[in-house]
Amino acid sequence: MLYAAPVRDAIADLWDLHAAGAVVAVTTNGLVGRDGRARLGRGCARQAGERFPWFAAKLGAAIVSGGNHVVHLGERLVAFPVEHHPLERPDLALIARSAAELAALATEQGWTEVALPRPGCGGGGLEWSEVRPVIVPRLDGRFVVVTLGKPSG
């Protein structure tokens, strides 16, 4: 079922949304170390690894077995690839593919609330003005794109 409403924007803490029951898409890269663990880099991927000690190993196994794709890792956490390697600039084509894969997964799983940080922005160095046109056509009202932080006031 596709929701006719457009993707929503919010200023929020991703982990508060997760605690409230939302699925969280964690922006990731495709690098796996010799130990089989994904290299989480910075931002929400690092935060996910700190909050969920199993995250890096499960993501690494998923990348090794299926490639650098969107995957539900458990506990309402989804890997959302934005770059192939943490030292590369985020890839707009990969972000577009990830948005399409996330939408398909949300439909398959019946998710109605999926939070996604601005992919490739922040530590990735992309501007929201270049990323927004790539993801918004692929997402709908089930998705909230989060500007990280706590609302003031």
Dihedral of the CA atoms 13, 15, 21, 23 (nearest 10)?
A: 100
Dihedral of the CA atoms 29, 33, 36, 37 (nearest 10)?
A: -50
| Mean pLDDT of all residues belonging to the chain | 92
pLDDT at 57: 98
3-state secondary structure of 80: strand
Asked whether residue 2 carries a pLDDT value surpassing 80, the answer given is no
**Is-contact 17 44, C-beta < 8 A?**
no
Domain ranges, ordered by start, for the chain: 8-148
- 6-61 pLDDT, tens digit per residue, is 888 889 999 999 999 999 999 999 999 999 999 998 889 999 999 999 999 999 99
8-148 CATH? 3.40.220.10
pLDDT at 101: 98
Q: The whole model's pTM is what?
A: 0.93
Q: How far is CA 131 from CA 8, 44, 61, 125, 128, in A?
A: 15, 17, 28, 11, 5
